[in-house]
Amino acid sequence: MMNDESKAADPAINDNAAVREGAAVGDGAAEGIEERLARAEAEAAEYKDRTLRALAEVENVRRRGQREREDVQKFAIGNFAKDLLSVADNLRRALESVPASEIPDEAMRNLMAGVAATEREMLAAFERHGLRKVDPMGERFDHNYHQAMFELENTGQPAGTVVQVLQPGYVLHDRLLRPAMVGVARGEAKTGERIDTLA
């Protein structure tokens, strides 16, 4: 049996022990490197995911901002257009107030022709800026664009048909500015049945 002193003196024994210890340390170092590599890869994947999410959020904000800018450009004239609708209504009332056959003299005919030309020009300007007139005479009642003021019976029209337009409506691009005020045909109700065309 060798004692501790003889073990320390024998270099072969010392070399074998060092090799065994080195192998154990090497295995531990290899495991440590693999663990660190796995952690680094997980962190890189997390940072990549965060970066992609941040880029997606930036893109969403950019698109939202673009849509809002387009909406502002499209609908910025909304309030101004609403104010002009009463002007258009008054021009139409002026033209309808005197039938063409009852105009007494040339000066009055010229005046009415000027009012008609002004109305046409105003409606053309409305169209150029996306403001469209809704005049639903004879169309089916649509609660999205029409406001029913009353129902009429015995009109000879199917129930729910617009038979009278009190005031035309207007749409700015795809947004309703003012509903058309209309009278709607009421159908013949069967005994004990009520037809509700305005629902």
Residue 171, in any domain of the structure: yes
Residue 102, in any domain of the structure: no
Q: What is the pLDDT of residue 195?
A: 45
Domain that holds residue 63: 10-74
- When pLDDT is averaged across residues 10-27 and rounded to a whole number, the result is 51
The answer to which of 26-35, 61-70, 76-85, 92-101 has the lowest mean pLDDT is 26-35
Domain boundary among 34, 57, 74: 74
The answer to which of 130-144, 158-172, 185-199 has the lowest mean pLDDT is 185-199
Residue 119, in any domain of the structure: no
Q: How many domains does the chain have?
A: 2
Q: Please determine, for residue 191, whether its predicted confidence score (pLDDT) is greater than 50.
A: no
- When pLDDT is averaged across residues 166-170 and rounded to a whole number, the result is 93
Q: Please determine, for residue 196, whether its predicted confidence score (pLDDT) is greater than 70.
A: no
Q: What is the pLDDT of residue 99?
A: 83
Residues recorded for the chain: 199
Residue 41, in any domain of the structure: yes
- The whole-angstrom separation of Cα 89 and Cα 167 is 8
Domain boundary among 26, 58, 74: 74
Question: CATH no. for residue 187?
Answer: 2.30.22.10
Q: What is the pLDDT of residue 13?
A: 52
- When pLDDT is averaged across residues 113-124 and rounded to a whole number, the result is 93
Residue 58, in any domain of the structure: yes
pLDDT in tens, 22-38: 544 455 566 789 899 99
Residue 139, in any domain of the structure: yes
pTM listed for this prediction: 0.60
Q: Please determine, for residue 70, whether its predicted confidence score (pLDDT) is greater than 80.
A: yes
- When pLDDT is averaged across residues 169-173 and rounded to a whole number, the result is 93
Domain boundary among 52, 74, 96: 74
Residue 193, in any domain of the structure: yes
Residue 89, in any domain of the structure: no
Average per-residue pLDDT in the chain? 82
Q: Residue 189's pLDDT band (boundaries 50, 70, 90)?
A: very low
